[in-house]
């Protein structure tokens, strides 16, 4: 188990590493209000099923907020003392802002400012996508670079960071 955090925690890991489960367990250890900020969009039946499963994994303590694009605003709106925000996930948000043509540096700056200013606790989940081979197409390389930039920026402002491998947390910060 990773040491408790007091304000912000970045949870990184590969696909199916257990990062969302770990993040949810960390949030549920707190007795306060729980707010899940979802960045996923269901563009197909498989993703819709995945979203439904994740919703079912959370109990009645959770309030869900959909924020596929305006994540900084959702954080600023819902962060409060006595509340734990769980943002899942930054990687999907990266896809959303990339495909929407948003100003990526401005979005990252707004995100880190919202995290730094957030009262209460915040847990942010993200995929570490930079451990594999270099993608073979420009869009995939843009996505990988954007996800890496987001992860680095959030890691700088987060109080703690852990890397999840096979469900096991490795403290980074």
Residue 76: closest CA among 112, 104, 44: 112
What is the residue-wise DSSP string for 50-113? HHHHHHHHS-TTEEEEE-SS-HHHHHHHH--TTEEEEEE-HHHHHHHHHHHT--HHHHHHHHHH
d(CA 34, CA 60): 10
Between strands 62-66 and 33-38, the pairing is parallel
User: pLDDT band at residue 6, thresholds of 50, 70 and 90?
Assistant: confident
b (16+ CB within 10 A) / e for 99-111: eeeeebeebbebb
Catalytic residue among 54, 73, 78, 102: 54
Segment 51-57 long-range contacts (CB within 8 Å, at least 24 positions apart): 54/20, 54/88, 57/24
User: pLDDT band at residue 12, thresholds of 50, 70 and 90?
Assistant: very high
* Block residue for tokens 């890991």: 13
Domains of the chain, residue spans:
8-171
**CATH architecture of the domain formed by 8-171:** 3-Layer(aba) Sandwich (3.40)
Active site residue 73: no
Angle at 150 between CA 91 and CA 113, to 5 degrees: 120
* pLDDT at 3 > cutoff 70: no
Task: Evaluate whether 119 touches 79 at the Cβ level (below 8 Å).
Answer: yes
- What global pTM score does this model have? 0.93
* Tens-place pLDDT, residues 74-88: 999 999 999 999 999
Specify the 3-state DSSP secondary structure of 34: strand
């Amino acid at each position: 188990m990773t040491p408790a955090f007091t304000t912000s925690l970045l949870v990184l890991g590969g696909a199916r590493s257990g990062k969302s489960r770990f993040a949810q367990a960390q949030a549920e250890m707190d007795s306060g209000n729980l707010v899940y900020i979802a960045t996923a969009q269901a563009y197909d039946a498989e993703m819709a099923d995945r979203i439904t499963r994740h919703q079912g994994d959370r109990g009645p303590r959770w309030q869900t907020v959909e924020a596929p694009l305006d994540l900084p605003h959702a954080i600023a709106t819902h962060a409060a003392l006595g509340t734990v925000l769980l943002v899942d996930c930054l990687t999907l948000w990266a896809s959303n802002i990339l495909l929407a043509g948003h100003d990526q540096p401005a979005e990252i700056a707004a995100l880190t400012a919202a995290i730094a200013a957030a009262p209460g606790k915040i847990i942010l989940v993200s995929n570490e996508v930079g451990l594999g081979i270099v993608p073979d197409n420009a869009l995939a390389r843009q996505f990988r670079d954007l996800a890496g930039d987001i992860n680095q920026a959030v890691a700088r402002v987060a109080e703690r960071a852990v890397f999840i491998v096979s469900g096991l947390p490795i403290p980074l910060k």
